[in-house]
Amino acid sequence: MHFDSRFRTLGWAPLGGGFARARAVANHQVGTDDRAAVEAPRRHLSRALETLGVDPRDAVAMMTAAKVRRAAYASARRNGLVAGAWCTAGCANALRVGDRATFLRAAPGTINLVVAINEPMEDAAMAEAIQIATEARVLAVQGAGIASTRSGAPATGTGTDCIVIAAPPGNSIRYCGKHTLVGELIGRAVITSCSRALARERLERD
């Protein structure tokens, strides 16, 4: 995803995580047995971006073993405010929050989300947008009937999910809770895009 100007971003992507400014957000597909990508994700992502002509210093990048061609997009808008959500989904790594830790034994499979807003947001609003997007992902995962591979209980995501929020620079939106319009639009866009991506993943698997 490319922006016309540098957007403010927030997330925990391997490249450009935390608060950053970026002209591009990438979701790079890697092989399930790609040890170089797993052992040195920043270096791997930087090189991948460079081959595309993108300056890694001006980008945020995530990795996924899910098929990027099965990504889903949805948007929601009202009163000039627009929220767009892009999602790739793999569920081999599905877990429920609070499951016993499985560090270093995680199977490939993740749900990555990029959420873009067309209005500037304060830091706190961007942090709250992460919460809204996370709750929406949980609804989509549970709506798809996905169970934890660890406990068998209803999953809330996977062990390696990543979310990136992007908005133009500035501070016009102060709040992003479920009572707000921006919170509503983010929730609707993420539920739809994540549900579509999960359905495509299941259809391909079946």
pLDDT above 60: residue 105: no
Q: What is the pLDDT of residue 109?
A: 77
What band does 108 get if pLDDT is binned at 50, 70 and 90? Answer: low
Per-residue pLDDT reduced to its tens digit, 23-58: 999 999 987 777 777 778 899 999 999 999 999 999
Which range of residues forms the domain containing residue 158?
Answer: 2-205
Are the C-beta atoms of residues 163 and 115 closer than 8 Å to each other? yes
Per-residue pLDDT reduced to its tens digit, 154-203: 999 999 999 999 999 998 999 999 999 999 999 999 999 999 999 998 87
Across 4-20, average pLDDT: 95
Whether the model pTM is above 0.85: yes
Q: What is the pLDDT of residue 66?
A: 86
pLDDT above 60: residue 104: no
Question: What does the mean pLDDT of the chain come to?
Answer: 92
pLDDT above 70: residue 106: no
Who contacts 42 (Cβ-Cβ below 8 Å, separation ≥6)?
14, 15
Q: What is the pLDDT of residue 50?
A: 96
The CATH number of whichever domain residue 96 belongs to comes to 3.60.70
Give the 3-state DSSP-derived string for the chain, with helices as H, strands as E and coil as C. Answer: CEEEEEEEEEECCCECCEEEEEEEEEEEECCCCCHHHHHCHHHHHHHHHHHCCCCHHHEEEEEECCCHHHCEEEEEEECCEEEEEEEEECCCCEECCCCCCCCCCCCCCCEEEEEEECCCECHHHHHHHHHHHHHHHHHHHHHCCCECCCCCCECCEECCCEEEEEECCCCCECCCCCCCHHHHHHHHHHHHHHHHHHHHHHHHHC
Total domains in the fold of the chain:
1
